[in-house]
Amino acid sequence: MARDTLEVVDFLGWTDKRQLHVVGVSMGGMIAQELALLVPDRIASLSLISTAARIVNTVGFVENLRSRINMFLPRAIDIQLANLKVRLFSKPWLEEPDRDGGFPTNGDRFAAQELKKRSDTEGFTRTGFICQAIAAGWHHKSAEQLNALGDAVGRDRIQVMHGTVDNMLINRQYHMVRFWRMN
Q: DSSP readout, 67-102?
A: HHHHHHS---HHHHHHHHHHHHS-HHHHHSBPTTSS
- Which residues of the chain have a pLDDT value below 70? 55-62, 64-74, 130-138, 166-183
Amino acid 135: pLDDT? 67
Domain 2-55+139-182 has CATH 2.60.120.260: no
Q: What angle do CA 90, 95, 101 make, to 5 degrees?
A: 125
Count Cα atoms within 13 angstroms, Cβ side, for 146: 21
CA distance 139 to 28: 11
Give the H/E segment covering residue 159.
strand 158-161
What is this structure's pTM?
0.72
Amino acid 61: pLDDT? 63
Amino acid 108: pLDDT? 96
Query: What's the distance, CA 53 to chain centroid?
Result: 10
Residues of the chain with CATH 3.40.50.1820: 2-55+139-182
Amino acid 75: pLDDT? 78
